[in-house]
Structure 1
Amino acid sequence: MVGDDEYVPEPCILHPEPVTEHEYIGLLDPGLQERIYGWEDGQAEADDFEDAEPPRYQTDLSTAPGWKIGGYATWETSDPYEVVCDCGTPMNPLLTIASTEWEDETISWTPVEDRHLAEESEANTPTRVTVGRDGSLSIFTCPSNPTHAHQITLQ
């Protein structure tokens, strides 16, 4: 007995795919952040995107939304911080459980085969799991000793 149906995944088919994502912008070197903001400003001024929004680092290239193994953690509701094991070792994301599979602000992470469904909320939540207030739960592990206690973040 789980106690709440919102924590029990709806049976669905899993189609894993490798993606390349990048660290949350707030954890990057300040000089690199400035270069990224400059690139975004240049994209916004370009006429190459006519009806579409130009890509942005945080929503289009950084942390991928949805359920994932590994990758980078998102820090959408708090300032970013390093998750550290009791032994002092920085921890790595093991698993992220998300309320949605893609972001409403951009289609860049929406699978090509699902883009025609992008406006349907049912398509964006195939597991029917809601984490917190439509957020993401990341589970972190210690890379130096997998028997050390896991830690979680809720964003």
Structure 2
Amino acid sequence: MEELFPELQPLRRNALRLHPRAGTPSYEDSSVGGPLRWPADEPWPLCAEEHYYDDGLEDATRHEAVVPMVPVVQLYAADAPGVPFPQGSDLLQVLWCPFNHGEEPYERCPLPQVRWRKTADVRRVLLTPPEPADAPEGHVPIPCVVHPEQVTEYPDWDDIPQELRNEIDDRVRRFEEVSGWDYFYHLSTAPGTKVGGHPRGWNGSTTWFSCERCGQPSHHLLTVTCAEFDGESWRTWLPAEDRPDNDSGPKIYLSESERAAAAKNPHGLMVSGGGDVYLFECRSCPDRPVEHLFFLN
């Protein structure tokens, strides 16, 4: 990319793709949806805020009960090359309330929380509580082991400054015509569940956020998606181990075969019928506050 478009070099970021696959992780493992190394002397987080049963559309019924948060991601620093852990920590934990939150129907999604820890401080581990029996379908991840892979990304086209887009637009279009590759799908941001890097956005920038508290730039922390690849991005982002034995190309995305399902939606998440949850953090504030966004595909 930088040989072809050296102007993009300052926008390069490293991301860590987690490549979750259904398994039986323990609290000693990095995982998606697995048990957490949670201190026995720290109460498990509960959600008492207003939340709903709904599908992200118009109809919503309030869910009255206080519910335990459910594990979404646990990541040890040893499995996370390039991820900037806060000083003194080596463990990232992300949980969320599996019921939908928010006022606008198409923006409702689970409410996340983030914890950074030092593994050595957790001497006794609290048993991870069971998920709420009435949690919405597709809002609680199936326990998965992860296979972290560090990749280099460049921002989505809408996240490139306008002046730079104008400068390279003709060259990018000519390259797409000659190569058959698409900048968004094949060359910019990785799809799937990932830590850091650039968010894989939509019509409008998701990169240049500022912290509501201090005004400094916020950084993409985590994306949790409903699909690890799609009918186009497989060409550069689908691992060789997950590709079909024959040259079926994008048919693997549409296939209902066991192999395709394991690669496409291993954690079983289908938030509000098929959306992605994005977490952004401020690294300037000492407590690294986190904001989240939801996009319904």
**Which structure has greater strand proportion?**
2
Which of 180, 185, 191 is the matching residue for 1:65?
A: 191
Q: Percent identity?
A: 30
Partner of 2:277: 137
Q: Decide whether the 8 Å contact of 1:98 with 1:136 is kept in 2.
A: yes
Partner of 1:18: 150
Residues 1:3 and 2:135 aligned together: yes
Partner of 2:205: 80
1:115-154 CA-partner distances (Å, limit 9, x unpaired):
2144435230011111344232111111112514311111
Q: Please provide the CA RMSD for this pair.
A: 2.1
Which moves more between the two structures, 79-88 or 12-21?
A: 79-88
Provide TM-score, normalisation by structure 2. 0.45
TM alignment of 1:114-129, pairs within 5 A: 114-116=242-244, 117-120=252-255, 122=261, 123-129=263-269
1:69-106 CA-partner distances (Å, limit 9, x unpaired):
11111222x41153221210110011110110012123
Q: Secondary structure at the match of 2:200?
A: coil
* d(CA) in 2 for partners of 1:100, 1:9: 12
Q: Secondary structure at the match of 1:154?
A: strand
Q: Decide whether the 8 Å contact of 2:137 with 2:270 is kept in 1.
A: no
Quick check: which has more Rg, 1 or 2?
A: 2
* d(CA) in 1 for partners of 2:153, 2:279: 18
1:6-31 CA-partner distances (Å, limit 9, x unpaired):
11111233111111111121121224
Provide TM-score, normalisation by structure 1. 0.82
Partner of 1:30: 162
* d(CA) in 2 for partners of 1:17, 1:127: 17
Unaligned runs of 5+ in 1: none
Q: Secondary structure at the match of 1:5?
A: coil
Partner of 1:100: 227
